[in-house]
Amino acid sequence: MDYTVLHAQVILDHLGFSPGILDGREGQSLTAALRGFQTSRGMATSGKLDRPTLEALYPYRALRPVKKLTLDAAALRGPYVNPLPKDPAAQAKLSALAYTRPLEKLAEMFHTTPEVLVELNPGGAPIGVGSTFIFPNALPASRDYPADLREDWKQTLTDLNVDANQPSGDRIVVDKSESVLKVYSGERLVAQFSATMGSKHDPLPIGTWKINGADYNPKFHFNPDLFWDAKPGDKAAMLPPGPNGPVGVIWLDLSKEHYGIHGTPEPQTIGRTESHGCIRLTNWDAARLSLMIKPGTPAIFQE
């Protein structure tokens, strides 16, 4: 793990140019995030941590790359489901498609993976109330969420360390060539997220759509007729809500039928795998996006 890279990732994450998971490693998601940040500052878009970019990030150096924190009961609160069945019929019988264990919840809370938390905390100390661990610094500056939001959604935002202070966007652009979702205010790029979009079976629907609205902590209607990879014999089922559900913690409905922008149970795959035509973000980025836009926001899908 490169702490210079991790520090840059943490700053970019706080500024709304998400590098995906915070892991201290270079890769396509960090390159895309750097290009987005550079574009927003009118810089040459090298996609690299070059000297001009390091100088532009320098004013935010107070955002340290890691934080040492003591776990409390709220951070470890479940429910947990382990093992989590993969069969939709079995999932439909559960009360929630919850995290499988506290380590998984803590990883999403700090915008990373269980493997990175283990790397940051060698020695295998037990996870429990009062235990102290090192985390990527994804802590928000504010949790003063809009008063009209549902209490369960506020709790989800808290659990994902989503900052209440977000820029307002008047349109989004989903760019297939860059595997990113961009948020604009006028002509200014104010945020960008790595995204997974479409496949050869369900290509990205190029065109201009709009955001109809948001379904927070949604249930998911599994219809095998809409899934090219459904198994023979699969039947329709209503799956319970939860971060490990097919669409994660939120569904932003699009005016294109059956399409939406949503979270994922596997944040490490964003930008690297196929989707069923929809736009997948990490749970924390999808939740953050919901604070930036409103119903009626144009959504432009382009090659």
Neighbouring-strand partners of residue 158:
none
Examine residue 194 and state whether it is found in any structural domain, yes or no.
Answer: yes
Residue 58 lies in a domain: no
On whether residue 195 sits in a domain, the answer given is yes
The residue type of 202 is: D
- Segment 51-67, tens digit of pLDDT: 999 999 999 999 999 99
pLDDT at 273 exceeding the cut of 60 = no
List phi, psi (to 5°) of 55: -65, -35
Answer whether residue 273 is part of any domain: yes
H/E element, 280:
strand 279-280
**pLDDT over 70 percentage in the chain:** 92
pLDDT at 256 over 60: yes
Question: H or E element: which one contains 84?
Answer: none
Question: pLDDT category, 303, cuts 50, 70, 90?
Answer: confident
Q: Do the bridges between strand 207-216 and strand 132-136 make them parallel or antiparallel, or are there none, so unpaired?
A: unpaired
Question: Average pLDDT, stretch 20-39?
Answer: 96
Indicate the angle between helix axes 3-15 and 28-40, nearest 10 degrees.
50
| String of DSSP letters for 52-68 | HHHHHHGGGTTS-SEEE
Q: Would you say residue 178 lies in a domain?
A: yes
| Count of residues in the chain | 303
User: Mean per-residue pLDDT for 36-47?
Assistant: 97
Q: What is the mean pLDDT of the chain?
A: 92
Q: Does 51 map to a domain?
A: no
Confidence (pLDDT) at 80? 97
Domain that holds residue 248: 171-302
Q: Could you tell me the pTM of the whole model?
A: 0.93
How does pLDDT run across 109-138, given as a tens digit for each residue? 999 999 999 999 998 779 999 999 999 999
Residue 174 CA, chain-centre distance (Å), reads 15
pLDDT of residue 205: 87
Tens of pLDDT, residues 196-255: 986 566 688 889 999 999 999 999 988 766 554 556 666 778 999 999 999 999 999 999
Residue 263, domain CATH: 2.40.440.10
Give the residues across from 222 on adjacent strands.
237
pLDDT at 199: 59
The confidence score (pLDDT) of residue 269 equals 87
CA dist 301 and 254 (Å) reads 11
Give the count of domains, the chain: 1
Quick check: is 162 in a domain? no
Tell me how far apart the alpha carbons of residues 117 and 75 are, in angstroms, rounded to a whole number: 15
Which residues on neighbouring strands pair with residue 215, listed in sequence order? 251
Question: Which burial class, exposed, middle or buried, applies to 276 when counting CB atoms under 10 A from its CB (0-12, 13-18, 19+)?
Answer: middle
* Bridge pairing between strands 250-254 and 260-262: antiparallel
Domain assignment of residue 24, yes or no: no
Q: Is residue 228 within 8 Å of 276, Cβ to Cβ? A: yes
- CA-to-CA dists, residue 214 to 31, 44, 50, 260, 295, angstroms: 29, 36, 39, 10, 8
User: Tens digits of per-residue pLDDT, 284-294?
Assistant: 999 999 999 99
Q: Is the pLDDT of residue 105 over 80?
A: yes
Category of 179 on φ-ψ map: left (φ > 0), alpha (ψ -120 to 50) or beta = left
**pLDDT (tens digit, 9 = 90+) per residue, 233-246?**
667 789 999 999 99
